[in-house]
């Protein structure tokens, strides 16, 4: 939970004939917060209500500034809320080049209140070579980078992003993702990011809001919520844990990255070197983690991590999900019921989590 002057507080109620949104949000004042859940759960409605594009009942307070308080009959229309909004489609002005599209965003904010310069937005989004290009000559990923830069040029108190990768193919998503990660590190403003992709959430969001049927089912640090067996995110084929660490070394000969984590060093195959000290988020899929009672001495698996079993839960026909603690870092392992029975696994047991280096992506 965050202080009232630094974060975002919102209580919103919106009723439609076939849907009700009823949320109470307490969000950090910096970094990326993901609103995550299945289609139709209310993520976009929540974002639009925060922006004032939907007239929900309740209150909204952003970094000490009240945007809505129905108890006091206070309401700021969207154009007076200091926000940036990025939609699924870039929606650039077709008759303006990249630079002029961005300058349009800049003009929306008085010079005295500008906190993000055009130069900073260009650098963060890697747009220097595109400034004179027209929108129709850009790829989908390039257009979305311009749309984000235009939103940043308004110097928003909060940046709202509604599934900005949804309209892109896999190649364009891969192209844009590093720039979104750069935003996470380079901006001191809160970003609310709507997504139904576990991979996007793991790579981008430090804070997570899980939604279902118009309500918040849980909110908190992403790494904690992803590993909770009582939440749906920890189940199914995409179940994964988020392990955070720092680059300790890079072996150029074997293209192998070593990441220092609370649970010990983790090695992974990586085609691009990273600087020592760089922060890394590793999404470790439960299906890629196996368990052993003893440390294997003749295995091709690089990562043999000491761990303690904290929970066991059935997870589909013949399968068991195992929650693990590695001195503060959390992992999930999906194994067969037979393996669980053969190893006689129980809560509190000390085991080795085995993770292939080629199964990890930084």
Q: What is the DSSP string of 137-206?
A: GS-HHHHHHHHHHHHHTT--SEEEEE-TTTTS-HHHHHHHHHHHHHHHHH--SEEEEEE--HHHHHHH-S
CA-wise closest residue to 195 among 181, 208, 214, 206: 208
CA-wise closest residue to 279 among 356, 201, 185, 175: 185
- CA pair distance 325, 13, nearest whole angstrom: 38
Q: Are strands 240-251 and 279-285 parallel, antiparallel or unpaired?
A: antiparallel
CB atoms closer than 10 angstroms to residue 159: 22
CA-wise closest residue to 279 among 6, 26, 31, 27: 31
Per-residue pLDDT of the chain (362 residues; tens, 9 = 90+): 444 567 999 999 999 888 999 999 999 988 899 999 988 999 999 999 999 999 999 999 999 999 999 999 999 999 899 899 998 888 889 999 999 998 886 776 665 566 677 888 888 888 999 999 999 999 988 999 999 888 888 888 899 999 988 888 888 888 888 888 887 777 778 999 999 888 888 888 999 999 999 999 999 999 899 989 998 888 888 889 999 889 999 998 998 999 999 888 999 988 777 889 888 888 899 999 999 999 988 889 999 999 999 999 998 899 999 999 998 889 999 999 999 999 999 999 999 999 998 887 66
CA-wise closest residue to 308 among 354, 261, 265, 351: 351
Q: b/e per residue, 328-353, with b = 16+ CB within 10 A?
A: ebbbbbbbeeeebeeeebeeebebbb
Q: Which CATH number fits domain 240-359: 1.10.1330.10, 1.20.120.160, 3.40.640.10, 2.40.50.100?
A: 2.40.50.100
Per CATH, the homologous superfamily of domain 8-226 is P-loop containing nucleotide triphosphate hydrolases (3.40.50.300)
Domain boundaries, the chain: 8-226, 240-359
Q: What integer pLDDT is reported at residue 88 of this predicted model?
A: 85
Domains 8-226 and 240-359 share a fold: no
* CA distance between the termini of the chain: 28
Q: Report how far Cα 231 is from the mean position of its chain's Cα atoms.
A: 17
- CA pair distance 271, 243, nearest whole angstrom: 20
Whether residue 259 contacts residue 246, with contact meaning beta carbons closer than 8 Å, is answered with: yes
In sequence order, which residues have a C-beta less than 8 Å from that of residue 161 and are 6 or more positions away? 85, 86, 148, 191, 192, 193, 194
Instruction: Tally the C-alpha atoms within 13 A of residue 256's C-alpha that lie toward its C-beta.
Output: 12
In sequence order, which residues have a C-beta less than 8 Å from that of residue 95 and are 6 or more positions away? none
Which residues are 14's β-sheet partners?
21
């Amino acid at each position: 939970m965050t202080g009232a002057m630094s974060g975002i507080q919102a209580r919103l109620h919106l009723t439609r004939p076939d849907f009700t949104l009823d949320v109470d949000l307490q969000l950090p004042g910096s970094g990326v917060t993901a609103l995550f859940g299945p289609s139709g759960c209310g993520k976009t409605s929540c974002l639009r209500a925060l922006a004032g594009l939907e007239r929900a009942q309740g209150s909204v307070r952003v970094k000490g500034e009240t945007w809505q308080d129905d108890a006091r009959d206070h309401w700021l229309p969207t154009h007076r809320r200091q926000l940036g909004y990025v939609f699924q489609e870039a929606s650039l002005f077709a008759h303006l080049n990249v630079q002029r599209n961005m300058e349009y965003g800049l003009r929306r904010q008085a010079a005295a209140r500008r906190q993000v310069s055009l130069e900073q937005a260009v650098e963060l989004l890697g747009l220097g070579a595109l400034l004179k290009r027209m929108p129709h000559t850009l790829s989908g990923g390039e257009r979305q980078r311009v749309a984000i830069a235009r939103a940043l040029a308004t110097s928003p108190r909060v940046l709202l992003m509604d599934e900005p990768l949804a309209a892109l193919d896999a190649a364009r998503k891969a192209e844009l993702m590093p720039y979104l990660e750069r935003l996470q590190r380079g901006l001191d403003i809160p970003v609310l990011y709507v997504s139904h992709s576990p991979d996007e959430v793991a790579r981008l969001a430090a804070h997570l809001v899980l939604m279902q049927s118009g309500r918040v089912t849980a909110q908190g640090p992403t790494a904690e919520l992803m590993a909770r067996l009582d939440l749906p995110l920890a189940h199914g084929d995409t179940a994964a844990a988020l392990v955070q660490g720092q680059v300790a070394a890079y072996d150029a000969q074997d293209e192998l990255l070593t990441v220092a984590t609370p649970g010990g060093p983790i090695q992974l195959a990586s085609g691009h070197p990273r600087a020592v000290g760089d922060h890394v988020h590793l999404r470790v899929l439960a299906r890629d983690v196996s368990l052993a009672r003893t440390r294997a001495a003749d295995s091709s698996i690089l990562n043999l991590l000491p761990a303690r079993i904290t929970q066991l839960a059935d997870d589909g026909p013949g399968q068991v999900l195992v929650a693990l603690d590695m001195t503060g870092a959390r992992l999930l392992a999906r194994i067969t019921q037979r393996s669980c029975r053969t190893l006689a696994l129980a809560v509190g047991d000390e085991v080795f989590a085995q993770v292939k280096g080629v199964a990890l992506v930084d």
